[in-house]
Structure 1
Amino acid sequence: MRIGVDLGGTKIEAIALDRGGAILARLRIPAPRGDYGATLDACVGLITACEAETGRQGSIGIGTPGAISPFTGRMRNANSVWLNDQALDRDLAERLGRPVRIANDADCFTLSEATDGAGRGANSVFGVIIGTGTGGGLVIGGRLLTGPNAIAGEWGHNPLPWPQPDERPGPPCYCGKCGCIETFVSGPGLAADHAAHTGRALSPPEIQAAAARGEPSAIQSLARHAERLARGLAGVINIIDPEVIVLGGGLSNLPHLYDDLPALIRSHLFCDGIATRILPPVHGDSSGVRGAAWLWG
């Protein structure tokens, strides 16, 4: 049995899977925000409850909003800031009395979709999160690639490729630089672009609804977003050339992306076609917690 825990900022979810990926148990509780010790207690409690419900012991994988630094052995870049600078893997392993594997939530999403989701059977899968932020992960031959710096897949913190004059230097990013892909194609990036062009503050779902009603300004905002996303993904394809790109996060629910992106990407590729498939996730919001469980293969 494999147990996965999705350590989110507002909720913590645990799932137990059998060898074939069938769900044996699934539990969810609110996250104890701002309290590291209570977060450890919550994770241990969910794991213990899964094992009690199934009568079996499992391997343990944790999906987190940040990552373990290979240089310090501590968490970094987590928007659940109470996790940062903590030795999360060691602390959980000590409490549980067995090893724990930890990966970034975007990596877990990608591993889930590559294992038994949209990318099943593909040798190379790039997973994209386009939501509050813009993350990514890469699975090659069924194995998650993290890299020596533990940043493989962090495409969102590269400059937007082929920027137009009005896209320079680009919006400031929380990472300290300007013009990162994330600042253009994330949910907040889409909302900020729409507001800049229209003076109206709308959320991405509201922009989508306005476009569905035929409002030209909303249609134009979605078109700019798709074209920028295409440029960002073209850079990924030019470097990695994955068989499948799976979109996740809130903006992956924009249906026009799957129709529009291939042609938009194609114009920026260093080849004469596009064979990479752009797909929605099979497991949706469950991909993160399922991928955490699959960290043990």
Structure 2
Amino acid sequence: MRIGVDLGGTKTEIIVLSEAGEECFRTRKTTPRGNYFDIVDNIVELVSEAEKETNSQSSIGIGIPGSVSKDTGLIKGNANTTELIGHDLKSDIERMTGRPTRLANDANCFALSEATDGAAAGASVVFGIILGTGVGGGIVVNGGIIPGLNSIAGEWGHTPLPWANQNERPGPDCYCGQKGCIETFLSGPGLSKSHDPVGAKGPTAKEIATMAARGDAAAIRTITTYERRLAKALAGIINVLDPDVIVCGGGLSNMDNLYTRVPELWQAYSFSGPLETKLVKAKYGDSSGVRGAAWLWPLD
């Protein structure tokens, strides 16, 4: 048995997987906000419940919205759940549960899940992307996460949109302090702003996709622009990483046209085409992150 925990800003989910990857138990609780130790207690309670329900004691893997300093073991300052910053979550969970624990970025966990037994199972090089409120990414090579020296490998959302048009430069302000980051164009809020740049309460990304599917001309133009931008952004990744498979998750991954249109469009930006990289939808959807956290402990 192995336990996976997906620590999100609004909910904390836990899963227990068998050695064969079968789901034995899963539940979720609201993530406490404002106090780090309340978050720790919440995880410990979930672990206790999971072990009681499965009558087992398990290793623990936790996917976090941030990264861990290799030098100190502390959560770095880029964590979206700011209560975690500066704390040694791994040691605290191990001390309170008595279970060996590993941490990884939640996008890395997503990529690991899909590379292990998901949509990219068997592929040598996998790039997992999350298109949602933000834009994240993770790299898995030969079944193992590549975190990078600075624990930021795969953070393509905070690189500039490549081959930007004149009207896309310098680009929208990003919370990271830069302008024109890929996240500002390809996130859900970015798609909404692209459709209605000045509207305070314009349609959501999901509503725009629905409108486009019904034939709304303005929405179709917005989605067409989004597909082109995504193709450029991923062509940049392919030119550097050359992955076998790119797996797409997050709310925007449900736009099925992406999987035919984007590979057609990215051919124009490849260094050496035609590209054979596959773009696929995540097999486990919202469950990939928590499954990947469990897979941080590989099979013996």
Q: Specify the TM-score bucket, using the shorter chain as the normaliser.
A: over 0.9
**Aligned amino acid, residue 101 of structure 1:** R
Confirm or deny: 8 A CA contact 1:5 1:293 kept in the other structure: yes
The 5 Å alignment of 1:125-144 reads: 125-144=126-145
Query: Cα offset for 1:34?
Result: 1.7
Q: Paired residue for 1:205? A: 206
92-101 vs 266-275, which moves further: 92-101
Q: Distance in 1 between matches of 2:234 and 2:202?
A: 27
String of CA shifts for 1:163-200, please: whole Å, max 9, x gaps: 11001101111111111111111111101111128897
**Aligned amino acid, residue 67 of structure 1:** S
Q: Distance in 2 between matches of 1:56 and 1:65?
A: 27
Moved over 3 A (4+): 197-200
95-104 vs 280-289, which moves further: 95-104
**Aligned amino acid, residue 29 of structure 1:** K
Change in Cα spacing, 1:223 to 1:200, as seen in structure 2 (3 Å) is: farther
Give the TM-score normalised by structure 1: 0.97
Q: Distance in 2 between matches of 1:200 and 1:224?
A: 21
Q: Distance in 1 between matches of 2:268 and 2:72?
A: 42
Q: Paired residue for 1:24? A: 24
SS at match of 1:26: strand
Q: Distance in 2 between matches of 1:213 and 1:22?
A: 39
SS at match of 1:265: helix
SS at match of 2:86: coil
Q: Paired residue for 2:178? A: 177
Give the TM-score normalised by structure 2: 0.96
Q: Percentage identity across aligned positions? A: 53
Q: Paired residue for 1:70? A: 70
Q: Distance in 1 between matches of 2:146 and 2:238?
A: 16
Query: Cα offset for 1:73?
Result: 2.4
Q: Paired residue for 1:265? A: 266
Q: Paired residue for 2:227? A: 226
Mapped pair 1:249 → 2:250: yes
Q: Distance in 2 between matches of 1:74 and 1:295?
A: 18
SS at match of 1:169: coil
**Aligned amino acid, residue 170 of structure 1:** G
Confirm or deny: 8 A CA contact 1:198 1:217 kept in the other structure: no
Confirm or deny: 8 A CA contact 2:63 2:105 kept in the other structure: yes
**Aligned amino acid, residue 190 of structure 2:** G
String of CA shifts for 1:253-287, please: whole Å, max 9, x gaps: 01110110111111100112111010001000000
**Aligned amino acid, residue 183 of structure 2:** E
Q: 5+ residue gaps in structure 2?
A: none
SS at match of 1:75: coil
Confirm or deny: 8 A CA contact 2:58 2:99 kept in the other structure: no
Q: Paired residue for 1:54? A: 54
Confirm or deny: 8 A CA contact 1:194 1:200 kept in the other structure: no
SS at match of 2:269: coil
Confirm or deny: 8 A CA contact 1:226 1:260 kept in the other structure: yes
Q: 5+ residue gaps in structure 1?
A: none
Q: Distance in 2 between matches of 1:125 and 1:189?
A: 25
Mapped pair 1:35 → 2:35: yes
String of CA shifts for 1:214-270, please: whole Å, max 9, x gaps: 111100000111100111100100011100000011100011101101111111001
String of CA shifts for 1:88-119, please: whole Å, max 9, x gaps: 11211221223310011100000000000000
Change in Cα spacing, 1:12 to 1:198, as seen in structure 2 (3 Å) is: closer
Q: Distance in 2 between matches of 1:222 and 1:119?
A: 26
Q: Paired residue for 1:13? A: 13
**Aligned amino acid, residue 63 of structure 1:** G
String of CA shifts for 1:122-174, please: whole Å, max 9, x gaps: 11110001100000000000111101110111111111101110011011111
114-123 vs 68-77, which moves further: 68-77
27-36 vs 132-141, which moves further: 27-36
**Aligned amino acid, residue 8 of structure 1:** G
String of CA shifts for 1:68-89, please: whole Å, max 9, x gaps: 1224422132222111222111
